[in-house]
A and B are shown apart, each in its own frame.
Chain A
Amino acid sequence: MISTSPRSFLQTPPPPVNIFSSGDNSLLSPSSVRFRQSGNFTTAAAATYSTMPSNLVHTSPASFYEILGIPIGSTIQEIKAAYRRLARVCHPDVAAIDQKDTSADDFMKIHSAYSTLSDPDKRADYDRRLFRRRRSVNLYSGGYSTRNWETDQCW
């Protein structure tokens, strides 16, 4: 069994401006190294494709809940409904013409959030880390506390 390495990078396609841009950086932040998963898990490589300067690391890590636009305690039904609602807007097959270029990336982020939160084990694991990360970010970075749910969400 093989697996992904942690460092997502890829210098190829330039990141298009997209409504999820805030979500990219989280995967590169030092605290998010723990998010690495085994090979058949979509997060790492799916969401990042550009080399981010390390000074951007602490800006606005959008959680999977924020990506799906749901509260942390959501039920599995709410998670699935949110995923479908967003897929109906963001999937490249149905996205508005002017968003075709970015919709695949948006959809991949949504799917990656969904695939973690819809799996009870992965979600429990994620929740624990999210809690730890949130705490450390608030304690040490300072910058994060000025943000709130609303500014992290784009719909």
Chain B
Amino acid sequence: MLGGFSEEQIKRYSRHIILPEVGGKGQKKLLSSKVLCIGAGGLGAPIIEYLAAAGIGTLGIIDDDTVDLSNLQRQVIHGGNVGMHKVESAKQFVNNLNPDIQVNTYIERLNAKNVEAIFKEYDIIVDGSDNFATRYLVNDACVLLDKPLSHGSIYRFEGQVTTIIPHKGPCYRCLFEHAPPPGMVPSCQEAGVLGVLPGIIGVIQATEVVKYLLGIGELLVGRLVYYDALNMSFDEIKMRWNKECPVCGEKPKITSIQEEIYGDSCRIW
């Protein structure tokens, strides 16, 4: 044991330990960190893959879905597991990749009732969900519980990603106060998605999580990266704290998580 690492860990994390910004101390921070990933789908797959490889000691994964053949065009961790619950498939992948990781599985949908109990167990939340109801629930719960949040979303060939540190920068509602009306939101079947797209966005989210936990670099706080795969362009949109924001503004209307705000539909308020 050197610095509290086994011989196997010294080898596994050597390329991290070599980095002056990480070192043994940084790697230990990662190993003692707890990260919750919402969804084990397109975004969740690369998020889980790289966070497990990085040695995030505890990974929570919540998803109620099962692996479908149509997922494998982009959800690279679920190979050979069609029909299995995605969280179980993800856990199997993580166990094979890195036995250091404790995986907490939640085979359920995130909702107004369970969100607080689950979130409070973790240091940072990564949103890999695919619908507005969950996205707003996650944002609001993070603001109310003061949990950092990595937000990512994808659509056809485009993706966006930002990092929310509640009360230190804007939240998702500061930029998009309400979800678009249901008719404006295409379902996954209607929209389609380029298979590699969530890989790009998810890996950026995982990068932000690792940076946050290590306390290094500049986070995407107050900045939203907009990625266009067809143009192969990354644009940055400045986000400002909105004092009228319904959850983190000066006079917030949302002061607790109420079920009726986050129905199954995409209509939020």
- Chain A bound to chain B: no
Please report B residues at the A interface, Cβ cutoff 8 Å: none
